[in-house]
Each structure stands twice: as C-alpha cells, then as structure tokens.
Amino acid sequence: MIVQEMTERVVLLDASGTPVGSDLKSTVHTADTPLHLAFSCHVVNAAGEVLVTRRSLGKKTWPGVWTNSFCGHPGPDEASADSVVRRAAHELGLDLHTLDLVLPDFRYRAVDASGIVENEICPVYVARVDTEPAPNPHEVMDVAWVDPLALGEAVALTPWAFSPWLVLQAEQLELLGGNPARSAPR
C-alpha cells in the first residue's frame, strides 16, 4: 500500500482544466501545489444516511478532520468514475451500487495548518451502498452514518470542525441542504 502511494500519479491541469501532464502524488502536494484533478464522493445507505469519515492521523493534509465519505485522484488515462470505484474499495472496502455526478465543476483551493495547499478541480459524486464500511486505517480513523440535513447544519454552524472541501460542497449539495442555485462553483 505504501509503495502504491509512492508511485501513484495525479493529473496536472492548466487554469481551464485541460490536462497538461502528471506528477507523483507523493511530491505534488506542497506549499505551492499545482492545479490537479481529484474527486470527492458522498456515500448514502438505504436509510438515507450519509457516511462521514475522520481522516487518519497519518494523512499529509487535514489529519484527524471529519470529511465526506472519501476522496481521491484519477490516474492518467483513468476515467473519474473508475477512480471513485477504486478508492471506495481501497479506503472503505465498499462496493458502490450507483454513482451519480452531482457537482461536475466543483473547484477549490485551501491551505492546511501545516502550509500544504490543496488546489483541485474536484467533481463531486453521490454513491449508494447496502453494506457497512470496513475502513482502511491508513486512510480513515473513524466513520459515522448521519442524517444529511443534520450534517449540512453542523457544517454551517461549525465549519472549522470539517474539511474545507466538505464545507464548500455542503453549500452546493441539495443532499446536505445546500442550494446549488445560490452557490457558484469555486
């Protein structure tokens, strides 16, 4: 697994979102992270609850922070939907039943307390599952199924307790009570 992380590549993008190359994931996230392609996924169960995860303390950025179900980066020549399925299995041991692209143009830039920058065009998906997660401890230290509207309210009231991308996504996702018509992509 660590070898995979050291050789995993991310797709670099120009300002318009056009791929311009790739670089190692292990070296691209710095204080001057170039724009690159990612994705974010919110997992929903049969009861309508959404899965939130707490990032492992070993994560390079935002360790120990509560966030959406999982995130990742498509590799060069890998379809985004395929990368979502791959990361669901890797991070949470989940087999996704449905996968819907809900925020295709989501984009953000955020700086971690350590000074490391996330700078991503990050399409957002919602997936459905009927099994329980089996978290990979290198990725996730805790999980919880929560009411989506309660999560949206918690994010709005205490944004400092969540990842910056979840805070921005909650403003735009109907699932979490956000209003996409009022929120411009970032």
Residue 166 lies in a domain: no
Residue 121 lies in a domain: yes
Residue 82 lies in a domain: yes
Per the residue annotation, which of 5, 41, 49, 120 is the catalytic one?
120
Residue 163 lies in a domain: no
Q: Is position 73 annotated in a ligand binding site? A: yes
pLDDT tens-place string over residues 45-63: 999 999 999 999 999 999 9
Q: How confident is the model at residue 170 (pLDDT cuts 50, 70, 90)?
A: very high
Q: Is position 36 annotated in a ligand binding site? A: yes
If one counts the domains in the chain, the total is: 1
CATH for 17: 3.90.79.10
41 is an active site residue: no
Residue 151 lies in a domain: no
Q: Parallel, antiparallel, or unpaired: how do β-strands 98-103 and 9-13 relate?
A: unpaired
Based on its alpha-carbon atoms, the radius of gyration of the chain, rounded to whole angstroms, reads: 15
**Mean pLDDT score of the chain:** 93
Residue 123: domain span:
2-146
Q: Is position 42 annotated in a ligand binding site? A: no
Are 95 and 87 in contact by the 8 Å Cβ rule? The answer is: no
Residue 94 lies in a domain: yes
Please name which of 25, 31, 12, 20 lies closest in space to residue 120, comparing C-alpha atoms.
12
Residue 167 lies in a domain: no
In the predicted model, what is the mean pLDDT of residues 124-132? 97
Prediction pTM value: 0.92
Residue 60 lies in a domain: yes
% of the chain surpassing 90 pLDDT: 90
Q: Please indicate whether residue 126 or residue 5 has the higher confidence score (pLDDT).
A: 126
Per the residue annotation, which of 41, 71, 139, 171 is the catalytic one?
71
